[in-house]
Amino acid sequence: MALELEIISAVIGIIGGIMNVLKNKWGFVLWVIGDALWIIYGLITQQYFFMMQYIVFALIAVWGFKSWYNDELKNKADKRVNKK
């Protein structure tokens, strides 16, 4: 089971990274999902520092998504103001 979890987590993380390079904020969501799977992997394999690292990565991904989302809202509001 651990090998399958590693493969799925890695694929999701890679796709998330590609999505971010393509400027798609949903890549952060995939990172959180992949990070959650890596956290489970860390628990299963008793690699607690590894698990803690992915908890931090997941928090950073949430932060990135929130930041990107807020920037989009601000840009939309600025465009509305500039149209008037």
pLDDT tens sequence across 21-49: 999 999 999 999 999 999 999 999 999 99
Question: pLDDT per residue over 47-68, tens digit each?
Answer: 999 999 999 999 999 999 999 9
Residue 4 has pLDDT above 70, yes or no: yes
Residue % of the chain over a pLDDT of 70: 99
Please report the pLDDT score of residue 77 as a whole number.
84
Please report the pLDDT score of residue 79 as a whole number.
80
d(CA 46, CA 74): 43
Residue 84 has pLDDT above 90, yes or no: no
